[in-house]
Chain A
C-alpha cells in the first residue's frame, strides 16, 4: 500500500514570508511519481509539478521550489515571498502501482495543507 502524509493541516503566514509545505510518502515501488496540486477557494484542482523517483534535483519555478529527498521519502514545497493569491489547499500525491488489470496506477493524495496568506 502507498501513503502520503501532510502533517501540517493549516498554516498562516504574513504576505512576503517564505513558507514550506511538508510531504512525506510511503511506497514499496522503486519507480514512482510525485505530484503537487493546488486547490484555491474556487474549488478546482490545479496541477503544479510532477517529479519522478529517479530525479532528485531540486526544481524552481518562479516563486515555487520543490525539494525531493529520497533518503527521507520527502517532497517538500516552498513558496518564496508568499502572496495572497497563494492562499489555497495544497495536495501532495503519489502514483505507484495498484495493479488491477492492464498495468494501471492509482494516484494517492495526502489530506492537504491549507495555506492562508494574510495581507
Chain B
C-alpha cells in the first residue's frame, strides 16, 4: 500500500457527461500528479500540483481540469466525455515540488469507462 488513495475505484458513465476523480496524497507529500493510462497511449502525464499551485502540465486536454485543495487532496475533472477517454487514471504523490530527485508513489487508480 503506497499510502495514496483514490476514489472511486471504478466509474461508468455516458458520453457527454462530467465526472470527478479524487486523490489523497501520502501524509506529508506536497505534490500530486495525474496520469492517464490507455492501451494505445501508455502512461501519459497530465498535470502536477504542488502545495495548491499548478506546477506542470503535460498532455492534458482542455476538457480536463484539476485542482489541489488546502488539505492537499486533489480532484481531476473530466467533462464532455468521449469514448476515447476510457482509461485508468492514476494519481501519484511526492514529498517535494517535483524535482528530478523525487520518487512518485502511485495510488490504485480509477478505471473510467465511457459508454
Contact = CB atoms under 8 A, between A and B. Distances in A.
Interface of A: 29, 31-33, 35, 37, 42-47, 50, 52, 91, 95-98, 100-112
B90 A47 contact: no
Contacts of A95: 100, 102
Nearest to B42: A111
Interface in B71-89: 88
A101 B109 CA distance: 27
Interface string B55-98: 11110000000000000000000000000000010101000011
Contacts of A110: 42
A52 B101 contact: yes
Given A31-B100, A47-B2, A104 B48 contact: yes
Given A33-B101, A102-B55, A109 B42 contact: yes
Contacts of A47: 2, 103-106
Q: Which of B45, B99, B100, B107 has the most CB of A within 10 A?
A: B100
B43 interface: yes
Contacts of B101: 33, 52
A109 B42 CA distance: 8
A44 B99 contact: no
